[in-house]
Structure formats: C-alpha cells, structure tokens
C-alpha cells in the first residue's frame, strides 16, 4: 500500500510539474509574456525579458520567442534559453547595471541576399555569412550579415570572412586592401 501511495504521489508531482510548464506553452504565442518567481526551469524558447524585486521577492518577466517570423525583434536581459536563430543587434547596460539585449530573428524565410547587422555571431543560423564588418570609436564591432541560403547555381557574392559560408559555395577569388580581404564566392 505504501508503495502504491508513493507511486501515486510521484505521478501527481510529475503531472503538476507538466501542467505548470504546459500552461506557458499550450496557450502562448510569440511575444506573450508571463511573470514568474523563478526562472529554472524555463519552457523551451522562453527568454528572460526583465527582472524586478517587490516586497523582498525577485520576479522575472519571461517572453515567448517561439513562432516568430523572419525579421521579428525583441529584447531580453539575458541570452539564457534564447532559441536558435535569434541574433544580437545591440547590448546596453544602464548606470544601474540593468542589461538590455536587442535581438532579431534570422530564421523563418529570409530571401537570398537579405542583410542584417549584428554585434556578434552568437546564435546566427547556418548560411548567414559576414558581408562586411567595422568597429566604431567605442570599440563595438558590427557585422553585416548576408543570407546565402536559397541562391541559385552560379550566383556570386562577396564576403569578408569564410565563417558560416555553406559548403555548396566555393571561393572564386579574393582581393586585399587596407580594409582587409574580400572573398568572391560562387554557388556551385
């Protein structure tokens, strides 16, 4: 009897835990937010938008990043649990220490040749290569990415780095100037 009760108790705990997690995902849509008092565990694809303290307790506002369309933008305070395809376009830390990370979604149907600017290559999806890069006076490096996915055979493009260039592309030529090396790549 004790074994049955223990099994029933464990099953009810698992069911309760699943129902709490499912409540975030079953009825949520991209951009929906919830306020929770713990961020571990977070449902897949829910990022931490911000946190605040009230009456001595810390609360987290989480945002559903699942289901976004190409080009969607959002902000988070941490890259924890951000799903693949969301790249960082900007990062700002206020005088009070609050960090805001601006994101853009690069998956979901970008046309060949689409470009976007990011500040690092973290979480950039396959096929987005570095078309250009520069560093501003404050030391932040900006990367202009180009989507090489969906190109037809014989297409040429120009990149300054061979990172993330799909294997179906080959180097056709390169030139070097004071600004660095530019590669002409060709889709086979």
User: What are the sequence ranges of the domains in the chain?
Assistant: 28-105, 110-188
- How far apart CA 166 and CA 173 sit, in angstroms, is 16
pTM of the predicted protein model: 0.82
Please report, in tens digits, the pLDDT of each residue of the chain (188 residues total): 556 655 555 555 444 444 444 444 456 899 999 999 987 889 999 999 999 999 999 999 999 999 999 999 999 999 999 999 999 999 999 999 999 999 999 998 999 999 999 999 999 999 999 999 999 999 999 999 999 999 999 999 999 999 999 999 999 999 999 989 999 999 99
Q: Is 150 exposed, middle or buried (0-12, 13-18, 19+ CB in 10 A)?
A: middle
- How far apart CA 135 and CA 2 sit, in angstroms, is 67
Sign of CA dihedral 143, 146, 147, 148: negative
């Amino acid at each position: 009897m004790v074994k049955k009760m223990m099994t029933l108790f464990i099953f009810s705990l698992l069911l309760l835990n699943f129902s709490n997690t499912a409540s975030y995902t079953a009825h949520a849509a991209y951009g929906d937010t919830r306020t929770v008092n713990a961020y571990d565990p977070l449902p897949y694809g829910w990022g931490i938008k911000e946190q605040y303290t009230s009456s001595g307790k810390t609360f987290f506002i989480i945002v559903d990043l699942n289901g976004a369309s190409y080009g969607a933008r959002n902000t988070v305070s941490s890259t924890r649990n951000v799903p693949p395809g969301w790249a960082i376009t900007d990062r700002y830390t206020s005088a009070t220490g609050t960090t805001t990370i601006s994101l853009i979604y690069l998956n979901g149907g970008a046309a060949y040749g689409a470009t976007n600017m990011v500040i690092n290559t973290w979480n950039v999806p396959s096929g987005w290569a570095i078309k250009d890069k520069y560093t501003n006076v404050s030391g932040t490096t900006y990367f202009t990415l180009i989507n090489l996915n969906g190109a037809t055979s014989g297409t040429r493009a120009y990149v300054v780095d061979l990172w993330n260039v799909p294997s179906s592309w080959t180097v056709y030529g390169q030139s070097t100037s004071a600004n660095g090396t530019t590669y002409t790549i060709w889709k086979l």
